[in-house]
Amino acid sequence: MFVTLTVAQYKGSKMIFGFLSMAVFRILLFLNKHGMSFYKLMGTGKNGTFDIRPDLNQWAYLWVWKSESDYQKFLEISWISKYLNKFADDVFTIYLSPKQSHGFWDGKQPFESNLNTAFEENEPIVVLTRATIKLNKANSFWKNVPEIAQNFSKNEGFIYSIGTGEVPFLKQATLSIWKNENSMKAFAYHKKQHAEVIKKTRQNKWYSEELFARFSLLGYSGKLPDSISKYH
């Protein structure tokens, strides 16, 4: 299994092509999935995590491939690849291999189920969390998110994050990259603000569905964000 997250920026007058990609790509994938076993087409937030404010210039495409060769063939022949090359101003892709995963995304397990492979001591780690927020809990959820969003990038070992969403306010996901597993755990389990939100999530039962996955970072391509470029 080979996983890619492609992030595309459509600036200025090209912003409309970001919106259109949500519909155009869905039609093209309905006709030919190019070896994909799962995909999500998503908007993004402003702060690199769950965010109520959308970034209308930036869109994200998560694709799960049966093999890396399927992805390479997609780059060569797909109209989606041609669309990105023609209309997007900046595009970069993160290459991932799933190591740990549990939970569901729209009733499916997009990554191999029951994964539980250990990470090397200094191996970079990529974390994906996603959730469907209950409609009657949305107001409570969004009141608690801003504090984490404001301080997310200030944590030791943090490299990059992006917040995405399929449905505004209700279906949200965050992908983050860390220098190693210890730095990720220090934020996730030992930062007071984040730990409190995790506790509230369980107590208040904000989510009707959630998924948590960890990946090995295989590499990147395209024009990288500054935070990733600095790390390299």
> Got the DSSP string for 167-189?
ETTTEEEEEEEESSHHHHHHHHH
d(Cα 181, Cα 121) in Å, to the nearest integer? Answer: 7
- Residue 171 domain boundaries: 2-231
| Average pLDDT taken over every residue of the chain | 88
Share of the chain above pLDDT 70, in %: 89
What total of structural domains would you count in the chain? 1
The two three-digit tokens of residue 23, written as one number: 């519909």
Task: Tell me the pLDDT tens digit for each residue of 162-216.
Answer: 989 898 789 999 999 999 999 988 887 666 666 677 777 777 788 999 999 999 9
Task: Output the domain CATH number for residue 167.
Answer: 3.30.70.100
Task: Tell me the pLDDT tens digit for each residue of 59-80.
Answer: 999 999 999 999 999 999 999 9
Task: Mention every residue, 6+ apart, whose C-beta is less than 8 A from residue 68.
Answer: 2
